[in-house]
């Protein structure tokens, strides 16, 4: 018996000793684990790069990415119309006729933005707990993520109204969340943006986050945070803060000034506050790719043209109509199409970049903030800066109500096909129910005030009983 | 236990050759899931021009650190017999499986940043199945030989327990006490003879043009088959042999050919002949709604898709296999130095008898889903 035990003992030791190694499986070699991703500067930067690339990598055929607002939000209001080809994508018709539903089109922006918000939250969690990052890199990345999360929420609130305020990555929490009132979401992102302004660099950094980029403004800086803060404060009614944030950008003449009409969408224009780098060398920018109509005229592939409502809003002599809109004559009809982005060449080093924030927008934001504080002449001065560049004469003094209309009109001709600006402006200035009935009548439809918000997806409503659908859907 | 081997049995009942009862009970798990799903993993992106020269790294999927093994408890019982010198054989078996903690892709709303996460299913599902088999040798001696085999399966599933179902993302998909595989449908109330559009019942039974989404869909369709089975017959006469297999099944199937096809009738594309029976003018009593621009009919059509009208309680019988063969007698072929030779014809999916409206009840759903292919093979088999 004793002998048997002596034989068994080494066997027992071998089996026992190897046990923990066998049970603990090593992580897969093709993927990175969380602790490695946030251990080095380059890996942490690459996580944030995935958010930028996600924003930049889209096609206009499908709504969802913020960049596609240039098409779909413009169809929804009075900026774009389309060639009535029977094979036109049904989502184009749905947005143009305001016929969005919970099961067809309209909820795409919600899903894409919350996907990006998850990425922001995951990276915020990882980077704030990271110990080995260069302090300046860590600070910049945290600022970028707070900014980016605020940016996605800004669009969610503008498109859908009240929205669940999600700040974790825990699916068990995030699948039960109820909608937070829009004003509270806006206050939350205003606070995040205040923080982001402190965290972010005042330079346009390159991919290392250690030195300035050469001739590009592809990274979020404290200036982008100021721009978004000004826009958010216009929605929350923080007029003085909106004026100051916009004013900081306008005063920074070393970095920012109004460019020529042909120059202000080029890479490294002094007008740009934040642009996105293309991540595809094989296609031009989507706006140029899909809006520039070929000489043969409109077709199923190039159906979009500027509506007569927008065309008629340009004053005589407005250079923006000449420089930012081009025409094609087909079947004895003149088609006008957006021509802010002019290059149909695909390139790894393109001359133009998708411009998210630019100084002219900020001048008009400050005009609005000043108008709201009854500083009417100051507001008119800001509008006139933008009008000069377009070759128009100065506005003369007017009352507050007239000035509000003047701001809306100036924004209409300055900001068309830029990230739903027209749709957001009409809502923010309380004019949507005044303007849309006539717009809809011209389109052959009827305006329903509930359509100021897009629908949530029926699938989301099914999967979260705390989530309430928007009225009218 | 083979009780036909017992002495008392052999003496008492002589026409039974073999009889056996059996029972098993056991527990199994499942590892048919991807690896590393509990980990927080990132993977590199594939952009053509990395952002500012930095190749991206993105979250590969929502991690779930709480994963556990799933557990299935299985009980099965059976009775097998053969009698009349093995001319009749048969069996009855019953299986009961109770599964809990199954690893499923749990559906998530988009506020989580993903459509689903791999999670332990917080419920208990019971599957039971009755199986009957019967084989007989109808003719066994002489030149004619004929044998048959019949089997029949009756499956049932039931959701026994689901923690917090009302709060979960499955609240509208599952009902405790019902099978797992169900769909909620709106009540279809026929055609409105004035407008030419379909009508529906609301949850109180009143006829409405548009039901309330997710409120009026109170009907439940069970999608599991009621039963299925097959009949195999083998007949031979001297050197000829002939066999065929019939497969049959009964159950509710999604049958969109009834409602008019892939998109509302009136669109570009091929139409089903059912559109010939469509509404044309007020007062028409037709089977199909009017042809119109999609913008007028899309909603009505969508609800018809989601109504009980789009399901058929289908019973079908399919002639699945037919084989005919003739073995050329050795006395003839041996002169040519051939050991054996056989001429045969085989056919699959020759014919389906059913009350289903689409092309094939075994590929149900959209009306243009292709039927199973019919194949016929002729052959000569020679060995030297």
Token pair listed for A327 = 């025409």
Chain B nearest C-alpha distance from A118 (Å)? 5
B56 with A50: Cβ contact below 8 A: yes
B50 with A465: Cβ contact below 8 A: no
Chain B hits for A50, CB-CB cut-off 8 Å, are 45, 56-58
* Mean per-residue pLDDT of chain B: 85
Q: Can you tell me whether residue B199 is helix, strand or coil?
A: strand
Cβ neighbour number for residue A401 with a 10 Å cutoff: 9
Say if residue B46's pLDDT is above 70.
Answer: yes
Q: Give the number of beta-carbon pairs within 8 Å between A and B.
A: 166
Cβ neighbour number for residue B371 with a 10 Å cutoff: 13
Residue B286 · residue B280 · CB < 8 Å? yes
- The residues near A306 (Cβ < 8 Å, ≥ 6 apart) are A79, A80, A81, A325, A336, A337, A338, A416
Say if residue B130's pLDDT is above 80.
Answer: yes
| Distance of alpha carbon B17 from the chain centroid | 37
Token pair listed for A42 = 């380059």
Average pLDDT over residues A34-61: 93
pLDDT band at B326 (very low <50, low <70, confident <90, very high): very high
* Mean per-residue pLDDT of chain A: 93
User: Is the CB of B5 inside 8 Å of chain A's CB atoms?
Assistant: no
pLDDT for residue A17: 45
B58 with A50: Cβ contact below 8 A: yes
Say if residue A6's pLDDT is above 80.
Answer: no
Residue A368 · residue A386 · CB < 8 Å? no
User: Is the CB of B289 inside 8 Å of chain A's CB atoms?
Assistant: no
Q: Judge whether A110 lies within some domain.
A: yes
Side-chain-facing half-sphere of A437: CA atoms under 13 Å: 4
User: Is the CB of B268 inside 8 Å of chain A's CB atoms?
Assistant: yes
pLDDT band at A21 (very low <50, low <70, confident <90, very high): very low
Residue B52 · residue A206 · CB < 8 Å? yes
Which of A40-44, A162-166, B186-190 shows the lowest per-residue confidence on average (mean pLDDT)?
B186-190
Highest mean pLDDT among A376-380, B297-301, B318-322: A376-380
pLDDT for residue A133: 95
Chain A hits for B117, CB-CB cut-off 8 Å, are 171
pLDDT for residue B305: 84
A28 with B41: Cβ contact below 8 A: yes
**Torsion angle of alpha carbons A313, A316, A321, A322, nearest 10°?**
170
B167 with A176: Cβ contact below 8 A: yes
Token pair listed for A298 = 């409109």
Q: Judge whether A90 lies within some domain.
A: no
Average pLDDT over residues B34-49: 80
Q: Can you tell me whether residue B176 is helix, strand or coil?
A: coil
A119 with B39: Cβ contact below 8 A: no
Chain B nearest C-alpha distance from A71 (Å)? 21
Say if residue B156's pLDDT is above 80.
Answer: yes
ipTM: 0.88
Chain A nearest C-alpha distance from B55 (Å)? 6
Q: How are the residues of chain B apportioned to helix, strand and coil, as percentages rounded to the nearest 5?
A: 10, 50, 40
Instruction: Choose between A268 and B103: higher pLDDT.
Output: A268
Q: Judge whether A169 lies within some domain.
A: yes
Average pLDDT over residues B114-136: 87
Cβ neighbour number for residue A65 with a 10 Å cutoff: 20
Token pair listed for B202 = 């609301």
The C-alpha atoms of residue A138 and residue A148 are separated, in whole angstroms, by 15
Q: How distant, in Å, are the alpha carbons of A11, A215, A365, A402, B104 from that of A211?
A: 60, 12, 31, 47, 47
The C-alpha atoms of residue A390 and residue A321 are separated, in whole angstroms, by 9
DSSP code at position B216: S
Chain A nearest C-alpha distance from B28 (Å)? 20
Considering only CB atoms, A52 lies closest to which of B51, B59, B64, namely: B51
Interface test with A, best of B65, B109, B186 (most A CBs within 10 A): B109
Average pLDDT over residues A308-318: 96
Measured between its terminal Cα atoms, the distance across chain A in Å is 81
Q: Which residue in A145, A161, A147, A148 sits closest to A235, CA to CA?
A: A161
Token pair listed for B38 = 């509990």
Side-chain-facing half-sphere of A234: CA atoms under 13 Å: 30
Side-chain-facing half-sphere of A306: CA atoms under 13 Å: 26
Chain B hits for A111, CB-CB cut-off 8 Å, are 110
Which residues 164-203 of chain B have a CB within 8 Å of chain A?
A: 166-167, 169, 171-173
- The residues near A265 (Cβ < 8 Å, ≥ 6 apart) are A340, A341, A342, A352, A353, A355
Instruction: Choose between A269 and B3: higher pLDDT.
Output: A269
| Distance of alpha carbon A386 from the chain centroid | 22
The C-alpha atoms of residue A160 and residue A175 are separated, in whole angstroms, by 18
User: Is the CB of B3 inside 8 Å of chain A's CB atoms?
Assistant: no
Considering only CB atoms, A458 lies closest to which of B44, B48, B213, namely: B213
Chain B hits for A33, CB-CB cut-off 8 Å, are 39-42
Average pLDDT over residues B221-233: 91
Q: Which residue of B has its CA nearest to A213?
A: B52
Burial class (CB in 10 A: 0-12, 13-18, 19+), B183: middle
User: Is the CB of B213 inside 8 Å of chain A's CB atoms?
Assistant: yes
Burial string for A414-449 (b: 16+ CB within 10 Å, else e) reads bbbbbbbbbbbbbbebeebeebbeebbeebeeebee
| Distance of alpha carbon A123 from the chain centroid | 19
pLDDT for residue A8: 54
A49 with B108: Cβ contact below 8 A: no
Q: How distant, in Å, are the alpha carbons of A349, B286, B335 from that of A215?
A: 11, 69, 92
What domain range is A423 assigned to?
A: 34-83+101-292+341-463
**Residues linked to residue B251 through DSSP beta bridges, in sequence order:** B314
**Helical H segments across A357-431, by residue range:** 359-372, 376-389, 400-414, 421-428
pLDDT band at B261 (very low <50, low <70, confident <90, very high): low
Average pLDDT over residues B288-310: 80
B112 with A118: Cβ contact below 8 A: yes
Measured between its terminal Cα atoms, the distance across chain B in Å is 48
pLDDT for residue B357: 83
Q: Judge whether A333 lies within some domain.
A: no
Q: Can you tell me whether residue A439 is helix, strand or coil?
A: helix
Average pLDDT over residues B243-256: 91
A31 with B52: Cβ contact below 8 A: no
pLDDT band at A15 (very low <50, low <70, confident <90, very high): very low
pLDDT band at B267 (very low <50, low <70, confident <90, very high): low
pLDDT for residue B333: 76
Give the predicted TM-score (pTM) of the model: 0.75
A465 with B53: Cβ contact below 8 A: no
Domains held by chain A: number? 1
Token pair listed for A344 = 């149909």
Average pLDDT over residues B117-125: 82
Q: How distant, in Å, are the alpha carbons of A80, A84, A133, A403, B61 from that of A312?
A: 13, 21, 55, 19, 49
Chain B nearest C-alpha distance from A26 (Å)? 9
B108 with A463: Cβ contact below 8 A: yes
Chain A hits for B49, CB-CB cut-off 8 Å, are 277-281, 348
pLDDT for residue A19: 45
pLDDT for residue B383: 84
Say if residue B377's pLDDT is above 90.
Answer: yes
A462 with B117: Cβ contact below 8 A: no
User: Is the CB of B295 inside 8 Å of chain A's CB atoms?
Assistant: yes
Chain A hits for B301, CB-CB cut-off 8 Å, are none
User: Is the CB of B163 inside 8 Å of chain A's CB atoms?
Assistant: no
pLDDT band at B34 (very low <50, low <70, confident <90, very high): low
Residue A389 · residue A293 · CB < 8 Å? no
Q: Tell me: the pLDDT tens digits for A430-456?
A: 999 999 999 999 999 999 999 999 999
The C-alpha atoms of residue A50 and residue A31 are separated, in whole angstroms, by 15
Which of A87-96, A202-211, B163-172 shows the lowest per-residue confidence on average (mean pLDDT)?
B163-172
A28 with B111: Cβ contact below 8 A: no
Q: Which residue of A has its CA nearest to B169?
A: A463
pLDDT for residue A186: 98
A46 with B117: Cβ contact below 8 A: no
User: Is the CB of B343 inside 8 Å of chain A's CB atoms?
Assistant: no
The C-alpha atoms of residue A328 and residue A292 are separated, in whole angstroms, by 9
Chain B nearest C-alpha distance from A175 (Å)? 6
pLDDT for residue B283: 83
Residue B76 · residue B95 · CB < 8 Å? yes
A31 with B35: Cβ contact below 8 A: no
Cβ neighbour number for residue A2 with a 10 Å cutoff: 5
Q: Judge whether A22 lies within some domain.
A: no
Residue A31 · residue B36 · CB < 8 Å? yes
Chain B nearest C-alpha distance from A281 (Å)? 6
Chain B hits for A282, CB-CB cut-off 8 Å, are 48
Average pLDDT over residues B320-344: 86
Q: Judge whether A177 lies within some domain.
A: yes
pLDDT for residue A98: 96
Chain B nearest C-alpha distance from A280 (Å)? 5
Q: Tell me: the pLDDT tens digits for A175-216?
A: 899 999 999 999 999 999 999 999 999 999 999 999 999 889
Interface test with A, best of B51, B169, B172, B294 (most A CBs within 10 A): B51
The helix (H) or strand (E) run that includes residue A305 is strand A304-306
A115 with B113: Cβ contact below 8 A: yes
pLDDT band at A5 (very low <50, low <70, confident <90, very high): low
Q: How distant, in Å, are the alpha carbons of A4, A156, A430, B110 from that of A176?
A: 60, 18, 32, 11
Chain B hits for A171, CB-CB cut-off 8 Å, are 62, 64, 108, 112, 114, 117
The C-alpha atoms of residue A380 and residue A1 are separated, in whole angstroms, by 104
Residue B240 · residue B326 · CB < 8 Å? yes
Considering only CB atoms, B112 lies closest to which of A49, A175, A348, namely: A175
Q: Judge whether A9 lies within some domain.
A: no
The C-alpha atoms of residue B320 and residue B335 are separated, in whole angstroms, by 38
Burial string for B99-135 (b: 16+ CB within 10 Å, else e) reads bbbbbbebbbbbbbbbebbbbbbbbbbbbeeebebeb
Average pLDDT over residues A246-250: 98
B97: left (phi over 0), alpha (psi -120 to 50) or beta: beta
Q: Which residue in A297, A276, A300, A299 sits closest to A286, CA to CA?
A: A276
CATH number of the domain where residue A277 is located:
1.25.40.390
Q: In chain B, at which residue ranges do the beta strands (DSSP E only) sit?
A: 16-28, 41-44, 57-59, 71-83, 88-100, 103-107, 116-120, 123-139, 144-162, 182-185, 187-191, 198-201, 207-208, 219-222, 227-237, 240-254, 311-328, 340-354, 375-383
pLDDT for residue A20: 46
Chain B hits for A54, CB-CB cut-off 8 Å, are 58
User: Is the CB of B269 inside 8 Å of chain A's CB atoms?
Assistant: no
Q: Judge whether A194 lies within some domain.
A: yes
pLDDT for residue B372: 86
- The residues near A122 (Cβ < 8 Å, ≥ 6 apart) are A47, A169, B59
Token pair listed for A218 = 């592809």
Chain B hits for A465, CB-CB cut-off 8 Å, are 166-167, 171
């Amino acid at each position: 018996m004793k002998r048997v035990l002596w034989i068994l003992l080494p066997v027992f030791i071998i089996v026992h000793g190897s046990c923990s190694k066998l049970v603990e499986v090593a992580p897969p070699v093709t993927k990175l684990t969380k602790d490695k991703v946030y251990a080095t500067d380059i890996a942490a930067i690459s996580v944030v790069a995935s958010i930028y690339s996600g924003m930049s990598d889209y096609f206009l055929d499908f709504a969802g990415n913020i960049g596609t607002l240039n098409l779909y939000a413009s169809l929804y209001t009075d900026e774009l119309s389309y060639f009535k080809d029977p094979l036109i994508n049904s989502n184009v018709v749905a947005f143009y006729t305001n016929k969005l539903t919970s099961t067809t089109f309209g909820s795409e922006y919600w899903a894409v933005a919350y996907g990006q918000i998850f990425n922001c939250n995951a990276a915020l969690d990882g980077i704030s707990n990271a110990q080995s990052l260069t302090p300046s890199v860590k600070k910049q990345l945290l600022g970028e993520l707070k900014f980016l999360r605020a940016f996605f929420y800004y669009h969610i609130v503008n498109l859908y109204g009240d929205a669940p305020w999600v700040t974790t990555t825990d699916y068990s929490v995030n699948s039960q969340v109820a909608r937070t009132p829009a004003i509270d979401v806006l206050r939350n992102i205003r606070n995040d943006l205040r923080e982001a302004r402190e965290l972010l660099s005042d330079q346009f950094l390159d991919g290392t986050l250690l030195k300035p980029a050469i001739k590009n403004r592809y990274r979020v800086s404290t200036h982008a945070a100021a721009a978004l803060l000004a826009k958010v404060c216009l929605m929350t009614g923080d007029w003085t803060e909106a004026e100051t944030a916009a004013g900081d950008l306008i005063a920074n003449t070393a970095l920012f000034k109004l460019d020529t009409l042909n120059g202000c969408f080029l890479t490294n224009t002094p007008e740009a506050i934040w642009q996105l780098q293309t991540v595809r060398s094989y296609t031009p920018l989507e706006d140029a790719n899909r809006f520039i109509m070929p000489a043969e005229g409109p077709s199923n592939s190039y159906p979009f043209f500027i509506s007569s409502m927008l065309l008629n809003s340009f004053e005589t002599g407005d250079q923006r109509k000449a420089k930012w809109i081009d025409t094609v004559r087909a079947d004895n009809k003149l088609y006008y199409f957006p021509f802010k982005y002019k290059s149909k060449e695909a390139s790894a080093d393109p001359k133009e970049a998708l411009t998210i924030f630019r100084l002219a927008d900020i001048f008009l934001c400050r005009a609005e903030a000043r108008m709201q504080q009854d500083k009417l002449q100051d507001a008119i001065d800001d509008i006139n800066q933008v009008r000069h560049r377009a070759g128009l004469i100065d506005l003369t003094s007017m009352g507050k109500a007239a000035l509000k209309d003047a701001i809306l009109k100036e924004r209409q001709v300055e900001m068309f096909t830029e990230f739903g600006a027209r749709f957001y402006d009409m809502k923010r200035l309380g004019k949507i129910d005044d303007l849309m009935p006539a717009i809809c009548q011209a389109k052959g439809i009827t305006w329903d005030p509930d359509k100021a918000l897009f629908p949530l997806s029926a699938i989301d409503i099914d999967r979260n009983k705390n989530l309430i659908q928007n009225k009218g859907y | 236990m083979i009780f036909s081997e017992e002495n008392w049995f052999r003496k008492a009942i002589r026409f039974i050759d073999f009889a056996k009862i059996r029972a098993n009970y056991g527990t199994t798990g499942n590892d048919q899931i991807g690896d590393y799903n509990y980990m927080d993993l990132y993977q590199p992106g594939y952009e053509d021009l990395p952002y500012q020269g930095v190749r991206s790294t993105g979250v590969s999927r929502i991690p779930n650190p709480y994963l556990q093994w799933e557990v299935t408890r299985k009980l099965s019982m059976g009775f097998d017999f053969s009698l009349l010198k093995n001319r009749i054989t048969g069996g009855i078996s019953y299986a009961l499986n109770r599964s809990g903690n199954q690893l499923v892709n749990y559906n998530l709303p988009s506020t989580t940043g993903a459509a689903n996460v791999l999670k332990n299913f917080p419920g208990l599902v019971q599957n039971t199945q009755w199986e009957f088999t019967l084989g007989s040798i109808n003719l066994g001696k002489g030149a004619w030989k004929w044998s048959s085999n019949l089997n029949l399966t009756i499956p049932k599933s039931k959701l026994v327990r689901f923690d917090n179902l009302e709060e979960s993302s499955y609240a509208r998909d599952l009902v405790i006490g019902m099978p797992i595989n169900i769909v909620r449908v709106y009540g279809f109330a026929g055609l409105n003879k004035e407008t030419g559009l379909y009508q529906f019942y609301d949850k109180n039974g009143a006829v409405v043009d548009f039901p309330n989404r997710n409120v009026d869909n109170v009907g439940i369709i069970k999608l599991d088959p009621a039963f299925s089975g097959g009949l195999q017959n083998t007949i031979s006469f001297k050197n000829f042999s002939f066999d065929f297999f019939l497969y049959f099944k009964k159950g509710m199937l999604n049958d969109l050919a009834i409602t008019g096809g892939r998109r509302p009738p009136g669109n570009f594309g091929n139409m089903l002949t059912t559109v010939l029976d469509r509404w044309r003018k007020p007062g028409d009593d037709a089977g199909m709604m009017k042809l119109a621009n999609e913008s007028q009919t899309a909603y009505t059509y969508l609800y018809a898709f989601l109504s009980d009208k789009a399901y058929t309680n289908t019973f079908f019988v399919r002639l699945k296999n037919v084989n005919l063969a003739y073995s050329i007698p050795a006395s003839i072929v041996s002169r040519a130095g051939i050991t054996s030779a056989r001429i045969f014809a085989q056919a699959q999916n020759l014919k389906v008898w059913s009350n289903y409206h689409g092309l094939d009840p075994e590929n149900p759903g959209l009306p243009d889903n292709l039927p199973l292919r019919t194949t016929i093979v002729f052959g000569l088999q020679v060995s030297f």
